[in-house]
Amino acid sequence: MSFSINNHVHSVNDPPIGQVRAWAACRPDGSPALIDLCQAVPDYTPPSELIAHLQQVVSDPLTCRYTPDEGLPEVREAVCERYRWRYRAAINPGQICLTVGASQAFWLAMVVLCHAGDEVILQSPCYFDHPMALGALGVKPVFAPFVEKEQGIPNPAVIEKLITPRTRAIVLVSPSNPTGAVIPHRRLTELYFLAQRHRIALVLDETYGDFVDGMPHDLFTLEDWHRTLVQVQSFGKTYALTGYRAGLLAASAEFIRQALKIQDTMAVCQPHITQLALQYGLEHLDTWVEANRLKMSLRHNLFVSEFMKPGNRFRIVASGSFFAWVKHPFSGRSGREVAKRLAQEAGIMTLPGEAFGPGLDEYLRIALGNIRENEMSEAIRRFRHFNS
């Protein structure tokens, strides 16, 4: 190229899932069939009634048009109705912006909150897209260290020591991607008030929140929650609509007003068809969602139980919902090296630990969205027999 590239973007790591797929594509002929433990995408499809609904609404020419930047009022009201029973939330449609996936919601939040040179605290291991986005914006990610015995649950005392005059937000993910660990209600509340005392935002990514049994937390019941809390949400996994990019940003009405300035220049609005799919799911699919939560919980429990039987040198450190965070047994080998050899030699696609923060070379992330019960024994057998 004869022109320069933004140095902030140039310094960002390549997307790790694409790297793993490239490794797997280089396997010799006759290699065992691939087992995908790499990407957390549900293996099940949307229910037939949702598909039928979409087939009907797509024939309406009005579905091809823009909606308001923040989303259709009736869809945002449907979101609020669900939040009122699931979180007991005091929330209204003016505090909701529908986005192109949770990733765009995170971008909106960070662009509204941060200048280049500011700092954002991330709990390690963190979702890899978060430090990538911050790096592209010239914002410094500050990593709260991973403590294995605590399964990566954030410690308020540790996080408070990381706060500086440049800190603009604490970013948490619950259930965690990559560990699957759920932050307990009381701990979340402590972190909320920690952020409030320091006049910074608590940004809570709940992409997998619908796979938590019961009420995920009670932050939305707090008076003036919107003065401190910014929530990033996704319904892609909830309704098996990952390709529709059904995300959401929840915050104060003023925060949403500022975010819409970016929304209009970035995406204009969440796709109209996505909003109609989301509205149908919110109004009709609670029982279906609960059945899938139970299915994923059983899948997780079965996998962990089999994986942890004697004879497996790979060790699960933390797990839950869609994920298992695994320590590999090869001292001196990076997670990247082990993941590459697992893909090429054993036909198992995982993500290396260092994709989720510094100092995590000893770990791998296993995603359980794509593996069915009849594949688990073979996948675990390959781990048990793998040598590096």
- The structure tokens 């069939």 sit at 33
| For range 237-251, the mean pLDDT | 96
User: Mind spelling out the 3-state secondary structure of the chain?
Assistant: CCCCCCHHHHCCCCCHHHHHHHHHHCCCCCCCCCEECCCCCCCCCCCHHHHHHHHHHCCCHHHHCCCCCCCCHHHHHHHHHHHHHHCCCCCCHHHEEEEEHHHHHHHHHHHHHCCCCCEEEEECCCCCHHHHHHHHHCCEEEEECCCHHHCCCCCHHHHHHHCCCCEEEEEEECCCCCCCCCCCHHHHHHHHHHHHHCCCEEEEECCCHHHCCCCCCCHHHCCCHHHCEEEEEECCCCCCCHHHCEEEEECCHHHHHHHHHHHHHHCCCCCHHHHHHHHHHHHHCHHHHHHHHHHHHHHHHHHHHHHCCCCCCCEEEEEECCEEEEECCCCCCCHHHHHHHHHHHHCEECEEHHHHCCCCCCEEEEECCCCCHHHHHHHHHHHHHCCC
Quick one: CA dihedral 80, 41, 184, 212, positive or negative? positive
For residue 248, the model assigns a pLDDT of 97
Could you give the CA distance from residue 114 to residue 270 in angstroms, rounded to a whole number? 23
One-letter amino acid at 183 equals: I
Domains belonging to the chain, first-starting first, are 7-45+288-385 (3.90.1150.10), 64-284 (3.40.640.10)
pLDDT band at 92 (very low <50, low <70, confident <90, very high): very high
pLDDT band at 25 (very low <50, low <70, confident <90, very high): confident
Q: Is the pLDDT of residue 26 over 90?
A: no
pLDDT above 70: percentage of residues in the chain: 100
- Under 8 Å between Cβ of 230 and 249: yes
pTM (2 decimals)?
A: 0.94
Q: Is the pLDDT of residue 150 over 60?
A: yes
One-letter amino acid at 20 equals: V
- The structure tokens 């605590």 sit at 150
Could you give the CA distance from residue 388 to residue 384 in angstroms, rounded to a whole number? 12
For residue 370, the model assigns a pLDDT of 85
Give me the phi and psi of 354, to 5 degrees please. Answer: -65, -10
- Under 8 Å between Cβ of 342 and 386: yes
| For range 37-56, the mean pLDDT | 92
Which tokens belong to 264?
A: 């209009």
Q: Is the pLDDT of residue 1 over 90?
A: no
For residue 388, the model assigns a pLDDT of 54
Q: Is the pLDDT of residue 192 over 80?
A: yes
- The structure tokens 């098996």 sit at 240
Could you give the CA distance from residue 52 to residue 37 in angstroms, rounded to a whole number? 31
Higher pLDDT, 201 or 29: 201
Mean pLDDT across the chain? 94
pLDDT above 90: percentage of residues in the chain: 86
Q: Is the pLDDT of residue 203 over 70?
A: yes
